[in-house]
Amino acid sequence: MFYRENGQFKTTYRADQQIFPIAQDRVVIGLLLAFAFFIVPLLASDYLFRAILIPFLIMSLAALGVNILVGYCGQISLGSGAFLAVGAYGAYNFFVRIPGMPLIPALILGGLCATLFGILFGLPSLRVKGLYLAVATLAAQFFSDWMFLRIKWLTNDSPSGSVSVSDLQVFGLPVDSAPSKYWLCLGVLVVMALLAKNLVRGAIGREWMAIRDMDVAAAVIGIRPMYAKLSAFAVSSFIIGVAGGLWAFIYLGAWEPAAFSVDISFRLLFMVIIGGLGSIMGSFFGAAFIVVLPIFLNQFLPQIAGLVGLEISTAGTAHAELMIFGALIVWFLIVEPHGLAKLWSTGKQKLRLWPFPH
Amino acid sequence: MKLSKLVIAAAALAAGLMTLATSVQAQAKEQFFPLLSYRTGPYAPNGVPWANGKQDYIKMINARDGGINGVKITFEECETGYATDRGVECYERLKSRPGVTLIDPQSTGITFALTEKAPADKMPLITLGYGLSVAQDGTAFKWNFPLMGSYWTGADILIQYLGKKEGGLDKLKGKKIALVYHDSPFGKEPIPLLQERAKMHGFELQLLPVTAPGVEQKATWLQVRQSKPDYVLLWGWGVMNSTALKEAQATGYPREKMYGVWWAGAEPDVKDVGEGAKGYNALALNTSGQQPKVIQDILKYVHAKGQGTGPKDEVGSVLYTRGVIIQMLGIEAVRRAQERFGKGKVMTGEQVRWGLENLALDQKRLDALGFAGIMRPLSTSCADHMGSTWARIQTWDGKKWNFSSDFMEADEQIIKPMVKAGAEKYLGDKKMTRRTPADCQS
């Protein structure tokens, strides 16, 4: 009723297979991108940029990577924090050791380091499945924790083990103001999301999904499990690695291995599960939920309490934040086990065939 | 789920964000102190008294003096949970409030991240007894103030004390000293200094990392039992300290030979272990107890009116007192800045930075502030952002901390060149230059 595709005839296969086959979708996405690129920098405050938008964009990118592995290829991974760390430290080493190394190639090289690392720790996936694989990928996490704490060379012999970067530039333009950092993250995210979307629509994405749905059947119809699984690990860890580089370089500026602890692996997995497994869109919803909601609750709860004349302490807020956050996760998973992305598509269906979609 | 519910939820969220955006405005002519703290998580037992001390001192100054020369002090707490990313979020949230003064990150990890951000935002960072050791060099680190000591000065004092105990630093030759440390920048900072000292005096330094947060230390203490070091230096924080003491008790390592940093020498570290921690030593930057005048004032003006932040009997504990000192130094920096930039005015971060750099708290001033006996005099300069490197040793007798040494000063001969070299390396990596003498005047 609100938006219909009546009269939009597809006359070529190309038109039928595009990412957004409905004209309204294309318009909305175009407007959204224009809004994100041009209007948001005019409206957002420094705080909104640095504390909410930039971490949201970077975590969306990381969740996108995790979604390829977990959502599309069905390989549960708890090693995402390690891939982030390898990407960050890889980019760092290229950045400080090679004089005049530009930022973007450093990030890409960091991503490639993560790719190699991901393939290495993806090897167990050829033999073990499901929860056992989750445990095997946890090894990646512990290995990276150990590696970046103990191997001094990787942290440029910094005595405290903490490293930092500064003087970031892209094409000669300094990346120090909040909007410039935002643009960089948004640009990387858009390019990566487009690549990821096209990959999962293509032959390789179909192989991943076939492996996810039933690997024996996939093998029978001629899909090589090794190639499919390892390529999913490679692509996923590349994206996560680039996200790790951005998280370290753009968001934190100075970091230690604890910034990529197992905690962040779990958070990324939750993002993907809550956002929607096997959905590019879901990665964004999940990241928004996990990144923004705690910060929002943290600031909103004291105000809500203030409205009814109560004063809650900082500790009270922190505890309430965790409780409400946990309750919301449970609630969302009960009402919509397929994640926020499914809610979104149900909503879209309802708009197309009001009020009863099939 | 119904779509309508989702729409309502989204609308509520948006409305919430709007109110949030508007409530930040208003409030002028008030000096605002952002207070980063952690009242949850594995470091909460130590973070809570620290945060309470800071808050109570602000409340006391407002109640007793009506602020700083008439400028009211406001504050807002932000929970970091000791996590770097949450700390950065808190910093970004609070840094642009009107009248914002300075930040005490309460965590070495957050300090490292903020050190990169503070110069651009013109925000002074106070890191009393923690943070970046090389930041003592104010000509390289314009915005960092590791007042009263860093991990390097702490480690240096410990080695000096051990030398004295053995009857001379040369007697340390051939001894074995183990460093049991929190495996993070916090725990690793003292290592370069200890290595330097080990080279000088010929003792063997054994490094035993403990994975954060430090609840699992069995393997570490097994190593201690195997290698039987002559002394163990404990570089722990939060739950790691009490666990270490329990493990030492279990493995039978004498507590008398254990020496903690000043972050491993407070009541929460030893209380649970009680008698088992008897004989354990730690560095002390400040006294504890409710006798000092400033603590009495806090009890009188804040707790007696029922406005205290924490429980009354915890007022005056080691970390509480340290929080009070940190807050006092921040407020005195504002007062010092007001002397130059205008009394009764709200100071900007830049002006407070000047105040921090020109702090001169002699004994007379400390007595007037009610800090007699709590700490030693302190005076900072452009070149020295630390102000004082004195500390002493305290020993736990099963019930309370007793001082067991006089105040000792870190050896400048060793620390100065290390700080200089470290600062040079930092500046070189960042392609920055030192501040000019003219910049020091401003």
Q: Do A162 and B109 count as a contact with CB atoms less than 8 A apart?
A: yes
Q: Tell me: do B168 and B299 sit in the same domain.
A: no
Residue B9 belongs to some domain of the structure = no
Q: What's the confidence (pLDDT) of residue A348?
A: 84
Q: Looking at chain A, which residue has its C-alpha nearest residue B190?
A: A160
**pLDDT on residue B4:** 56
Residue in chain B lying closest to A44 (CA): B21
| Cβ pair A319:B16 closer than 8 A | no
pLDDT (mean) for B83-109: 91
Residue numbers in A near B212 (CB within 8 A): 258
Residue B317 has pLDDT above 60, yes or no: yes
Q: Is residue B297 part of a domain?
A: yes
Residue A126 C-alpha, separation from nearest chain B C-alpha, in angstroms: 31
- Count Cβ atoms within 10 A of the Cβ of residue B395 and give its class: 0-12 exposed, 13-18 middle, 19 or more buried: buried
pLDDT tens digits, residue range B375-395? 999 999 999 999 999 999 999
Give, in order, the Cα–Cα distances in Å from B189 to each of B129, B186, B322, B389. Answer: 12, 6, 21, 16
Contact call for B79 and A167, based on CB within 8 A = no
Identify the residue whose tokens are 């009354």: B312
Is B386 within a domain?
no
**B1 confidence band (pLDDT: 50, 70, 90):** very low
Distance from CA of B379 to the nearest CA of A (A): 27
Separation in Å, CA of B276 to nearest CA in chain A: 31
> Taking CA atoms, what residue in A is nearest to B37?
A314
A79-137 confidence digits (pLDDT tens): 999 999 999 999 999 999 998 889 999 999 999 999 999 999 999 988 888 889 998 89
CB contact under 8 A, B430 and A167: yes
Task: Output the average pLDDT for chain A.
Answer: 90
Contacts of B17 in chain A (CB under 8 A): 296
Judgement on whether residues B128 and B37 belong to the same structural domain of the protein: yes
Predicted pLDDT at B101: 92
Which residue from A252, A258, A322 is facing B88, i.e. has the nearest CB?
A252
Task: Using an 8 Å CB-CB cutoff, list chain A residues near B185.
Answer: 160-162, 256
pLDDT for B16:
53
Instruction: Check whether A165 has a pLDDT greater than 90.
Output: no
CB contact under 8 A, A45 and B6: no
Condensed to tens digits (0 to 9), the pLDDT of residues B62-95 reads: 999 999 999 999 999 999 988 888 899 999 999 9
User: How many independent structural domains does chain B possess?
Assistant: 2
Residues in contact with B131: Cβ distance below 8 Å, sequence separation at least 6, in sequence order: B105, B108, B111, B112, B115, B125, B144, B146, B150
**CB nearest to A256's CB, from B89, B185, B191:** B185
Q: B167, exposed or middle or buried, with CB in 10 Å at 0-12, 13-18, 19+?
A: exposed
Distance between B203 CA and the closest CA of chain A, angstroms: 20
In the CATH hierarchy, which fold is given to the domain comprising A44-352?
Answer: ABC transporter involved in vitamin B12 uptake, BtuC (1.10.3470)
Closest CA of chain A from B41, distance in Å: 10
Using alpha carbons only, give the angle A253, A259, A264 rounded to the nearest 5 degrees. 130
Q: What is the band of B194 on the pLDDT scale with cuts at 50, 70, 90?
A: very high
Q: What is the pLDDT of residue B11?
A: 55
Q: Which of B46, B77, B79 to mutate to test the interface with A (most CBs of A within 10 A)?
A: B79
- Segment B165-182 shows an average pLDDT of 93
* CB pair distance less than 8 Å for B188 and A159: yes
Instruction: Report d(CA A124, CA A113) in Å as an integer.
Output: 19
Which pairing describes strands B125-126 and B360-361: parallel, antiparallel, or unpaired? unpaired
Q: What is the mean pLDDT of residues B218-236?
A: 94
Q: Is residue B20 domain-resident? A: no
More confident: A254 or A312: A254
pLDDT score of B27 more than 60: no
pLDDT tens-digit map of B268-310: 999 888 888 999 999 999 999 899 999 999 999 999 998 888 8
Q: What integer is the mean pLDDT of B382-410?
A: 92
With CB atoms and an 8 Å threshold, state whether B81 touches A350.
Answer: no
**What span, in angstroms and rounded, lies between the C-alpha atoms of B204 and A132?**
44
Q: Would B312 be classed as within a structural domain?
A: yes
- Name the closest residue on chain B to residue A252, using Cα atoms: B113
Regarding whether B81 and B130 lie in a shared domain, the answer is yes
Confidence class for position B10, pLDDT limits 50, 70, 90: low
Whether residue B18 has pLDDT greater than 70: no
Q: Is pLDDT of B326 > 80? A: yes
- Contacts across the A-B interface (CB distance below 8 Å): 113
Rounded CA separation B29/A50 (Å): 27
User: A314 and B79: CB-CB below 8 Å?
Assistant: yes
Q: Determine whether the interchain pair B117/A251 forms a contact, defined as Cβ–Cβ distance below 8 Å.
A: no
Task: Please give the pLDDT value at position A203.
Answer: 94
Q: Which residues of A touch B3 (CB under 8 A)?
A: 346-347, 350
Please check the confidence at residue B24 and state whether its pLDDT lies above 50: no
A303 and B77 within 8 Å at the Cβ level: the answer is no
Domain residue limits at B260: 151-284+393-410
The reply to whether residue B93 touches residue A336, judged by beta carbons under 8 angstroms, is no
Which residues make Cβ contacts (< 8 Å) with residue A309, sequence separation at least 6?
none
The share of chain B scoring above pLDDT 90, in percent, equals 71
Task: Find the CATH number of the domain harbouring B184.
Answer: 3.40.50.2300
Mean pLDDT value across residues A211-228: 94
pLDDT for B2 beyond 80: no
The mean pLDDT value for A238-261 works out to 93
Sequence-ordered list of residues with C-beta below 8 angstroms from that of B432, at least 6 positions apart, any chain: B140
Residues B203 and B313 in one domain: no
- Cβ A346–B3 below 8 Å, yes or no? yes
Task: Please tell me the distance from the alpha carbon of residue B293 to that of residue A322, in angstroms, as a whole number.
Answer: 40
pLDDT of residue B241: 93
Contact call for A299 and B183, based on CB within 8 A: no
pLDDT at B6: 53
DSSP A215-228: HHHHHHTT--HHHH
CB B386 within 8 A of CB B380: yes
Which residues of chain B does A318 touch, with a Cβ-Cβ cutoff of 8 Å? 39-40, 79, 81
B15 in a structural domain? no
Shared domain for B132 and B165, answered yes or no, is no
Output the furthest CA–CA distance in chain B (Å, rounded): 79
Residue B298 shares a structural domain with residue B273? no
Residue with more model confidence, A302 or A250: A250
B131 min Cα distance to partner chain A (Å): 10
B427 and B322 housed in the same domain: yes
| A308: confidence class by pLDDT, cuts 50, 70, 90 | confident
